[in-house]
Amino acid sequence: MTFLPQETIRRKRDGGTLEPAEIGRVVAGFADGGVTDAQVAAFAMAVFFRGMERAEAVALTEAMRDSGDVLDWRGLDRPILDKHSTGGVGDNVSLMLAPIVASCGGYVPMISGRGLGHTGGTLDKMEAIPGYSVTPDNELFRRTVGQVGCAIIGQTGRLAPADKRFYAVRDVTATVESIPLITASILSKKLAAGLEGLVLDVKTGSGAFMASEEAARELAESLVAVANGAGLPTTALITDMNEALASAAGNAVEVRNAVDFLAGTHRDPRLLDVTLALAGEMLASGRLAADAQDGRRKAEAALSDGRAAEVFARMVAALGGPADFVERMDFHLPRAPIVAEVKADEAGFVVGVDARALGLAVVALGGGRTRPEDTVDHAVGLTDLASIGTRLEAGELLARVHARSAEAAEAAARTVRAAYRLAGEAPPTRPAVVARISERG
């Protein structure tokens, strides 16, 4: 019988439940062109308004996974683990998390993305390292994971290609903000990576795409349910993004922050808490720890004794970066010619930060993209960001701006100053890890 995409679209438009086989045929049409852009858009809009049951979302995710290559890690004798973040400002967790988990016995083939909107991208950060290749061939990727324990790279064109086309259409048809479609987009790529355990970092707050905790929880619950339904053991942490996670936001400046973190020179408290919590979950999911708390203790030990820093250095060298990068990062990383201090106009406690505004300040400096084809300036960014709860006197430092010109620095300084709210009383403390979501609730 001839497959008619419009009939599937009609059923979903009218509130029907789609069978896995017809979802599979629609997705195959995304990949091979058998479904037109107009039909892709209509399908997306029907799902946007009618939603999907869990079984439908699982079928959509699995079909998009199967539209391209699925990585095969047979021959490696340790669990294949990864994490995904929904994106934030100053979120350089991946740079520390991958080597921490690898040094504790996991394999971490971390397939990451570029910056999106006001949020930074892991690939853009790694490309601040001279010579580092985020697009190695499959042989080098597999060899690095097998020999070092982790590799942070970009998505190949053969992983979930149906998602690439589907997302491009959703992006221009106001259908991005659909929980089932976001879920399938994220998880299809993770399933294609051949994982055996996944931890999700779902952000909430002023710097997150899901600003409200309610929306973040809805997405986290959907991701956990669908991932486990597709056979991938998954948990999620909802984490706070009401301020930058690290005290730096940008590319080279976040790499510098990450190396300092691994070496023990400086560790931002909230960043440490989130990183160790995610590491604990990953190690527990791979049965490399009895539970998340035991995993956290193992991760702390890998940081303390230098194993994680050593793994990071080996990964950088294996993927084309300098062999002495950790020891001489200040020599290798680019620096902006202008560094300007942003000072508080008045005394008080930092009680609020518009994290999204900080991310947009980095984009305006050239550290992000306003169009996909834009070139990123890896040197620019913000450092020494004052955290919520900090007591400042008038004239004390809110942040430092790293810029290409005095004019750009001045504009960023105005944005940063406007992003901060000070008051006479200290704000209530808020945990960096807000909630944990598992299949059992």
The catalytic residue among 82, 124, 163, 268 is 82
List the one residue out of 58, 176, 163 whose CA is nearest residue 113: 163
Active site residue 170: yes
Contact status, residue 312 vs residue 329, Cβ threshold 8 Å: no
Residues 409 and 211: their CA atoms lie apart, in Å, by 28
Active site residue 84: yes
The catalytic residue among 84, 114, 298, 332 is 84
Contact status, residue 241 vs residue 88, Cβ threshold 8 Å: yes
**If 0-12 CB within 10 Å is exposed, 13-18 middle and 19+ buried, where does residue 171 land?**
exposed
Q: How many CB atoms lie within 10 A of CB 169?
A: 18
- Per the listing, tokens 């971390």 go with 110
Contact status, residue 111 vs residue 189, Cβ threshold 8 Å: yes
Active site residue 133: no
What burial letters (b/e) apply to 63-81, b meaning 16+ CB within 10 Å? bbbbbbbebebeeeebbbb
Residues 246 and 91: their CA atoms lie apart, in Å, by 6
Residues 108 and 148: their CA atoms lie apart, in Å, by 10
Active site residue 189: yes
Contact status, residue 186 vs residue 166, Cβ threshold 8 Å: no
Residues 334 and 376: their CA atoms lie apart, in Å, by 12
The catalytic residue among 65, 165, 170, 314 is 170
Contact status, residue 140 vs residue 331, Cβ threshold 8 Å: no
Active site residue 185: yes
Active site residue 414: no
The catalytic residue among 8, 85, 119, 188 is 85
Helices (H), 152-198: 161-171, 179-192
The catalytic residue among 125, 164, 190, 332 is 190
- For residue 50, give Cα distances in angstroms to 30, 35, 179: 20, 20, 11
Q: Please, which residues have CB within 8 angstroms of residue 219's CB and are 6 or more apart in sequence? A: 86, 179, 182, 183, 202, 210
Active site residue 402: no
The catalytic residue among 185, 234, 275, 390 is 185
Stretch (H or E) spanning 273? helix 269-285
Stretch (H or E) spanning 108? strand 108-112
Residue positions annotated with a catalytic role: 82-85, 122, 170, 185, 189-190
